[in-house]
Amino acid sequence: MKLKFGDIQETALIPLAIKASETSRPNARIRDVKAKEIIDSLGVDVSKYDPFLSHEGVIARTIMFRDQLKALLKKYPDALCVNLGCGFDDKFTQVDNGRVQWYDVDLPDQIAVRRKVYSDRERCKMLPGSALESEWTKQLPKAKMYIIVMEGVLEYFTKDQVKTCLNMLCDSFPHGYLVGELHSPFLEKHGKHHDAVKHTNATFGWGTKSGREYLALEPRMKLLSEHSFNEEMKKYTLGGKFFSVIGKNINNRIAVFKW
Ligand SMILES: C[S@@+](CC[C@H](N)C(=O)[O-])C[C@H]1O[C@@H](n2cnc3c(N)ncnc32)[C@H](O)[C@@H]1O
């Protein structure tokens, strides 16, 4: 079955369009063959979803999430990893160590369209489920360690929804890591001007200055680390370097929590 433009939620189209365009560049910093295949198959111009700052931000976060996950998988090679709110992301391919058990989880309608372009693989399966309820977690096999990835998802949740999600994770998994993308109060307030998201109907949810603000919502979690995407973004372009100065406290962050 072929994917149509309208099948892809606009917020999921942004990282997909960016990863596809980067993959086509001569010195691509990341390669995402699946993103390119999907975007090429749509046959429409998606360049408005690929402005400079969003491009650099998505590339930085892709590299930072990949490296963080690889480090965790070195420590726990047999972990069960859940890409919660996976959209069309193919992170499994970037980090597969030959042993991890991977689940790509998203809302049922999103998993239905994902199935048009992905098939289940031996250690990488798709599962419909919501970050705001726990029913789907009962279908997962038991594991010694659980790693939950939420890239580009928590930014769209209200504070109450973030709390529901964190409580659900701690209730459902005896222990684990959450590798999540967090955004600032600035973006919550001014998100309608975001260079790519302004082309969508999405609005940003609760922004935080620090991941420590999550701990009040779920005291079982500890914050292990938190890094601004600026740290990666400033390595590549003058514009990225400039933004890392003027947007010092504005850029999104990768935070690692443990419980
Ligand atoms: C901006 S996309 C990010 C997709 C992917 N993580 C990436 O980085 O390419 C946001 C995704 O979150 C999913 N999402 C929104 N609310 C959700 C929920 N309550 N539970 C699970 N996924 C959700 C959407 O369906 C969408 O696929």
Q: Whose CA is nearest to atom 26 of ligand 1?
A: 87
238 CA distance to ligand 1 middle (Å): 31
- From residue 95, alpha-carbon distances to 69, 76, 98, 116, 163 in Å are 7, 13, 9, 23, 28
Strands 222-228 and 176-182: unpaired
CB 18, CB 59: distance < 8 Å? yes
Residue-averaged pLDDT of the chain:
93
Q: Which atom, in ligand 1's list, is nearest to the CA of 12? A: 2
- The model's pLDDT over 132-162, given as tens digits with 9 standing for 90+, comes to 999 999 999 999 999 999 999 999 999 999 9
Give the pLDDT score at 34.
95
23 CA distance to ligand 1 middle (Å): 22
Q: Please give the average per-residue pLDDT across 201-227, as a whole number.
A: 95
- From residue 14, alpha-carbon distances to 29, 89, 164, 167, 249 in Å are 17, 11, 26, 29, 22
Output the pTM of the full model. 0.94
Hey, what are 183's tokens? 């955004």
Q: Following DSSP, what letter does each residue of 199-222 receive, concatenated?
A: GSS-------S-THHHHTT-TT-E
Measure the CA–CA gap between 131 and 94, rounded to whole angstroms. Answer: 23
- The model's pLDDT over 56-109, given as tens digits with 9 standing for 90+, comes to 999 999 999 999 999 999 999 999 999 999 999 999 999 999 999 999 999 999
Give the pLDDT score at 85.
96
Task: Check residues 143 and 14 and name the one with the higher pLDDT.
Answer: 143
Show the domains of the chain with their CATH numbers. Answer: 5-258 (3.40.50.150)
Of the CA atoms within 13 Å of residue 248, those in its CB half-sphere come to 2
